[in-house]
Amino acid sequence: MCGIAGLFDQNGEPADAGALAGMIHTLNYRGPDGHGVQTDGAAGLAHARLSIIDVAGGTQPMSDVDANLSITFNGEIFNYLELRQELILRGYRFATRSDTEVILQMYADKGVDCVRHFNGQWAFAIWDRRKRQLFLSRDRMGVRPLFYTQVNGKFLFASEVKALFNYPGVSRELDLEGLDQIFSFWVTVPPKTVFRNIYQLPPGHSMLVTQDAIRVFPHWSLEYAPADDRSDAFAERKSEELLDLLRDAVRIRLRSDVPVGAYLSGGIDSTIITSLAKQVIDDRLRTFSVSFEDAEFDESAYQRRASEFLCTDHASVHCGYDTIGDVFPDVVWHAEQPILRTAPAPLYVLSKLVRESGFKVVLTGEGADEVLGGYDIFKEAKIRRFWGVNLDSRWRPMLLRRLYPYMQNVQNQSDVYLKNFFAVSPEALGDPFFSHLPRWELTGKLKMFFSEDVKSQLKTSDVYRELRSTLPRDYGAWPSFCQAEYLEASGLLPGYILSSQGDRMAMAHSVEGRYPFLDYRVVEFGAKLPPWLKMKVLSQKHLLRRAAHGLVPQEVIARPKQPYRAPDGKSLFGGRQRDYVERLLAPERIGRDGVFDPQAVGMLVKKFRAGRAISTKDNMALVGILSTQLVLEKFLREFKPTEVCANAEKH
């Protein structure tokens, strides 16, 4: 796992090696094991390395024997050994044992279609000297990030936005439409980001940059084609297939020249992954988890049970309100976008523990909820639809109370308010975003805190129209359950789960996450499963539970779903006073920064101080406003190019 950066001057001017060194220097934490910069006329590549495979030979940027192709690569191609063997049989020769060289040779052999053969998580750029073109690609699910921009005829790319900002002349402005999207969906809709003129390559896409043009195109797409079979024999067969696939997905994700550990959250997803890893690793497996001061969020009892069951060498880090409040500014610096919950913070603390324990690589259970039907929002949509068929029913809405047993607000509502909140109406049933409307509408209410100026600038913005324009052609024909899964897997997963909670929090401490559930074979398998195997009546991840017997403790299989959450307001306003909270939420500062309304924010802060702010909405508003203010401070107002860049000539 690494950091990458580079440029192609479309005017033909020579690439500035010093500026490239500055860009990559900002990503030092992504790759502390070595830096490299390589220029070839108008093109330049830079790399910060975290050595994991072929520690001795995998230095980057790497070129082929004839120096016609050069690559800078962040990620892993897990099936590189098989691909390498195929290439050798066809006459290719290799100078290293690295997966990086396999990408280069695959590109030499198959051109831009090479990525269709990769099983992995990647963001890379290949400079093709003969064709004078830069080829960039990002993995199918968006595990690894890749951002780009253009300035003064130069095309620039990097693993993180801050590296782009480090290049001289790149402007740093907030993109209000991107902000509007985050305050609706929690994420921006790719290629948009929250910064103006800074774009992200969407997951499953590649791009070609030549002197005259930039072309972005898909190399993979998520398509649902659920089988229509309700037999138990079919379920049994699928259960075995799932286990076989997961076993292989874990096996190839253990390929590493450094030890691999695992996150153990106490849920079924990470436990089954750890269990399968144990079958491959001879040594006692190291596992890691986070525990919470607040019992409402703590899962340590299940973590201990899973660790005992699997005989792992387990370490846990305790996360209190103060810890979250203390690290929050660093979390936003790494997330590089406003976030609406503090949930990334404990993962930031956890990756520190992993790194301090001497580990660079961890397996996690991320992705199971999206691929195999685990989220409450799927259940919620199913019940809402069920209710929508007979809106006068007295007992159908009672099912909604079973949805969120841990949320007092939902439990205490009368039917009429539940119906209102969960947006069950004949019109809503036909909406392509039916499953997600309550969540998005609730989030959208946070925009009441925007300043009059921002509201006026966003008057014509329509976030739903933007999102609708990105939906696949066949979306309307998919079962509603699959539509909901698609919205999660293509939106929140890459834009928040894998970035703000995943790549960014792990890489902040030079740790690489690997996700067996996001092996594309598992994802495609999941997309062909009938919805009843994902959610049987209201039992989530039905097939996974079935497959997990014997591999996961029964208590973990049977436990009620507990979504991963962390305390918000209490972490920022409970306990001791924090300078940055006071500074960034002060009325004069809010007014000067201009994004939010000082009076409204003042009232919200007053409510928190009085201990009255308990709702999800208020907590999201506080975290969203504070993180936006941190983004403004760290990336716009006070961003300082690194010394390497400021003194580029010396390098």
β 35-40/43-49 pair status: antiparallel
Instruction: Name the residue nearer to other proteins (CB basis): 554 or 615.
Output: 615
With respect to other proteins, which residue has the nearer C-beta, 150 or 616?
616
Instruction: State the nearest-atom distance from the C-beta of 600 to other proteins, in Å.
Output: 4
Place of tokens 């397996």: 363
Q: Give Cα separations from 388 to 426, 427, 434, 442 (angstroms).
A: 7, 10, 11, 20
606-633: burial string, b at 16+ Cβ within 10 Å, e else: ebbeeeebeebebbbbbbbbbbbbbbbb
Q: How far is the CB of 603 from other proteins (least distance, A)?
A: 4
Tokens describing residue 630: 């941190």
Q: Are 191 and 200 in contact (CB under 8 A)?
A: yes
Output 414 or 460, the one with its CB closest to other proteins.
414
Q: Which residue has the tokens 């750890």?
A: 274
Q: Which is nearer to other proteins, 220 or 422 (CB)?
A: 422
Q: What minimum distance in Å lies between the beta carbon of 612 and other proteins? A: 6
Closer of 36 and 598 to other proteins (Cβ) = 598
How far apart are CB 495 and other proteins at their closest, in Å?
25
- How distant, in Å, are the alpha carbons of 229, 244, 324, 346, 585 from that of 327? 49, 40, 5, 9, 17
Query: CA quadruple 434, 435, 440, 441: dihedral positive or negative?
Result: positive
Cβ 408 to other proteins, closest distance in Å? 8
Residues near 427 by Cβ (< 8 Å), separated by ≥ 6? none
CB of 452 to other proteins, least distance (A): 10
In angstroms and rounded to an integer, the radius of gyration of the C-alpha atoms of the chain is 24
Among residues 237 and 612, whose Cβ is nearest to other proteins?
612
What is the rounded distance in angstroms from the CA atom of residue 631 to the CA atom of residue 193?
Answer: 13
Give the up-direction half-sphere exposure of residue 459: CA atoms within 13 A in the CB hemisphere: 4
Q: How far is the CB of 417 from other proteins (least distance, A)?
A: 4
Which are the contacts of 94, defined by CB distance < 8 A and separation ≥ 6? Answer: 84, 87, 88, 101, 102, 105
**Measured from the CB of residue 424, what is the shortest distance to other proteins in angstroms?**
13
Question: What is the smallest separation between the CB atom of 450 and other proteins, expressed in angstroms?
Answer: 9
Nearest to other proteins of 488, 597 (CB atom): 597
User: Nearest Cα to 221, choosing from 122, 142, 125?
Assistant: 142
User: What is the binding site for other proteins (CB under 8 A)?
Assistant: 409, 412-414, 416-418, 420-421, 442, 445, 448-449, 597, 599-601, 603-604, 606-607, 612, 614-617
Between 505 and 621, CB nearer to other proteins? 621
Closer by beta carbon to other proteins, 422 or else 635: 422
- Is residue 238 within 8 A of residue 372, CB to CB? The reply is no
Give least dist CB 609 to other proteins, A.
Answer: 12
**Does 203 sit behind a cis peptide bond, omega within 30 degrees of 0 on the bond before it?**
no
Task: Give 108 or 448: the residue with its C-beta nearer to other proteins.
Answer: 448
361-363 and 539-540 beta bridge pairing: unpaired
Nearer to other proteins, 36 or 397 (CB): 397
- Amino acid identity for residue 16 in this structure: D
Cβ closest to other proteins, residue 471 vs residue 600: 600
Cβ 105 vs Cβ 92: under 8 Å: yes
Q: Provide, rounded to whole angstroms, the least separation between the CB of residue 380 and other proteins.
A: 14
Residue 417 gets which letter from DSSP?
H
CA–CA distance, 174 with 171 (Å, rounded to integer):
10
Residues 115/116/120/123 CA torsion (nearest 10 deg): 30
> Minimum distance between the CB of residue 74 and other proteins, rounded to whole angstroms?
41
Is residue 228 within a helix (H) or strand (E), and if so which, with residue range?
A: none
